[in-house]
């Protein structure tokens, strides 16, 4: 895939890889292949899995395998290399939002944030606020900057006792830009420990 302008599909794929995605590379003992690499996305929400697979296939012209209806993945050094060279590390403590997304138009910013929040945020309906917990302070700071650029109030607090931070959006139901966004109150388990 030649480097193309940022698209809604690429923004969503990047966001999900920062959220519940994984990417890793390892040495093999195979004679004809020194390394193997895999890119994956884990989620219990079938609609999100299908959407990620559709976006990924459109961008890279590959078909991702579905595993137990909770994970999609593909083995490809080419794609792994393209993603790393363009966006850097997707590790839990290392991912960042690139300038081409941070400085994009409103629609692309919302595509990225909505996709990321679908993985990482939880809606505290009792207090009408959306909270995102992460060990990546700089990544959350990037999101805060994007929210501020859209005049959406938010706060970034921490570190907490487990070295995590909270990004909180108050009065969430009143934000028209996220109208229609739904999220279960409890976070689903993710595979962040596998991310490199």
8 A C-beta contact, residue 129 and residue 99:
no
* Residue 184 pLDDT: 52
Q: How far is CA 33 from CA 20, 27, 64, 77, 81, in A?
A: 28, 9, 21, 10, 15
* Residue 3 pLDDT: 67
- Give the CATH superfamily of 8-181: Homing endonucleases (3.10.28.10)
The domain ranges of the chain are 8-181
For the chain, give the number of residues: 196
**pLDDT for 64-95, tens place per residue?**
999 988 999 999 999 999 999 999 999 999 99
Q: Take residue 168 and report the two structure tokens written for it.
A: 């909180």
* Residue 52 pLDDT: 98
pLDDT at residue 100 tops 60: yes
* Residue 183 pLDDT: 67
Predicted model pTM:
0.89
Cross-strand partners of 67: 71
Residues 119 and 63: their CA atoms lie apart, in Å, by 22
**pLDDT for 116-153, tens place per residue?**
999 999 999 999 999 999 999 999 999 999 999 999 99
**pLDDT for 151-193, tens place per residue?**
999 999 999 999 999 999 999 999 999 987 876 544 443 344 3
**pLDDT for 18-35, tens place per residue?**
999 999 999 888 777 788
* DSSP assignment string, 111-175: HHHHHHHHHHEEEETTTTEEEEEES-HHHHHHHHHHHHHTT---EEE---TTS-EEEEEESGGG-
């Amino acid at each position: 895939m030649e480097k193309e302008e940022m698209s809604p599909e690429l923004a969503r794929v990047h966001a999900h890889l920062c959220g519940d995605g994984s990417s890793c590379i390892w040495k093999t003992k195979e004679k004809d292949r020194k390394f193997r690499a895999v890119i994956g996305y884990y989620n219990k929400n079938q609609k999100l899995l299908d959407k990620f697979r559709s976006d990924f296939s459109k961008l890279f012209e590959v078909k991702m395998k579905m595993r137990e209806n909770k994970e999609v993945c593909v083995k490809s050094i080419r794609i792994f290399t393209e993603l790393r060279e363009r966006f850097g590390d997707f590790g839990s403590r290392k991912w960042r939002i690139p300038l081409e997304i941070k400085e994009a138009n409103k629609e692309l910013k919302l595509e990225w944030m909505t996709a990321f929040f679908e993985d990482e945020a939880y809606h505290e309906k009792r207090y009408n606020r959306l909270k995102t917990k992460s060990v990546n302070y700089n990544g959350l700071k990037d999101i805060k900057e994007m929210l501020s650029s859209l005049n959406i109030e938010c706060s970034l607090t921490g570190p907490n006792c487990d070295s995590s931070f909270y990004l909180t959006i108050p009065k969430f139901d009143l934000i028209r830009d996220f109208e229609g966004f739904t999220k279960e109150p409890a976070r689903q388990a993710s595979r962040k420990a596998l991310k490199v």
